[in-house]
Amino acid sequence: MPELQKIKLVLEDGTVFEGKSFGYHKSVAGEVVFNTAMTGYPESLTDPSYEGQILVATYPLIGNYGVPKDEKENGIPKFYESDRIHISGLIISDYSFEYSHWNAENSLREWLIQNEVPGIFDVDTRALTKILREKGSMLGKIEIDGESIDFNDPNKENLVAKVSVNEKKVFGNGKNKVVLVDTGAKYNILRCLLKRDTTVTVVPWDYDFTQEDYDGVMLSNGPGDPQMCPDTVKHIQKAMEIGKPIFGICLGNQLLGIASGANTYKLKYGHRAHNHPVIKVGTDTCYITSQNHGFAIDNDSLSSDWEPLFVNVNDKTNEGIRHKSKPFFSTQFHPEASSGPTDTEFLFDDFIELIEKSK
């Protein structure tokens, strides 16, 4: 094992965790959150929803299968959720310096260094996670060599503007035309649409997509506070007047809720895992879902034309909404789930079915 420098994580309440640096050696600040998934760190690190956050991976062994090859398919990376790492820093318990996987091209350590992202291991992530569960998501900073930096709250920034595409892009050549509003879209949303005979036009977060020729609208996931996206909300409201099908995921769920007149609020520590159970309202059917979000819709603020579609079994928070008479619905969880369970990918089929019926 190479000689490693000492590094520390400082929380806003003054708690300090010391560890060893295995990534890029620099100081960073952000919001500290945790993810309980056992697998999928390449996907998590490249998920735009983690922009500005210092991620704690609670599974004790990370790095054992390296990172996959940077292959392209349909013009996008085949094994990642975006074209770069979005987390500000990575905190883990035990790092595996030896990796083995048929598709591995690089080690996690080399990948972090290439992307200039710091990483700490040899940290008691159980104790750290208990603090975050009891006190909620906290601001934190990774400091090296005694360098002191200020705390930074990424939720005060328009993170969506930082991760969205800058110009319109078209993928596929299918019979159904879908506009994907990129507020930080995971690539697997695009993959799930493309394999369902669609032409997908990806547009920036503040683009007036209602001027496009489309059959349906997909509102993507993304980072930060949904209240930072008033332009997106305005365009969703125009699309609702047009009446063509709308499907929102994660941040897209919150933006659709705001467009309908509902309120959102910040969760204590958010939902970030592959194992969140949700129940479809009005049924006994429970699905296991993948999630990554820090905000939620207030069910009590929904207007009479809207109703909850799914509810979280653990804390009873909103997991989706739908209009009672029009083809608009959304989920707080990730039905495209990469990595993670695929229990709810059928919702993409439901979306395409709504498009074909409306046509």
Phi-psi region of 145 (alpha: psi -120 to 50; beta: other; left: phi over 0): left
Give which of 121, 106, 130 is closest to 19, Cα–Cα.
121
Rounded to the nearest 5°, which phi and psi values hold at 68?
-75, 170
Q: Which of 235, 271, 293, 334 is catalytic?
A: 334
| Cis peptide preceding 339, ω within 30 of 0 | yes
Distance between CA atoms of 165 and 202, rounded to whole angstroms? Answer: 8
Give which of 25, 33, 95 is closest to 66, Cα–Cα.
95
Q: Is 250 considered catalytic here?
A: yes
Q: Is 336 considered catalytic here?
A: yes
Q: Is 235 considered catalytic here?
A: no
Q: Which of 31, 43, 143, 336 is catalytic?
A: 336
With residue 42 as reference, give the H or E element that holds it.
helix 41-45
With residue 7 as reference, give the H or E element that holds it.
strand 6-11
Distance between CA atoms of 223 and 269, rounded to whole angstroms? Answer: 14
Q: Is 150 helix (H, G, I), strand (E, B) or coil?
A: coil
Q: Which of 143, 250, 276, 319 is catalytic?
A: 250
* Residues catalogued as catalytic: 250, 334, 336
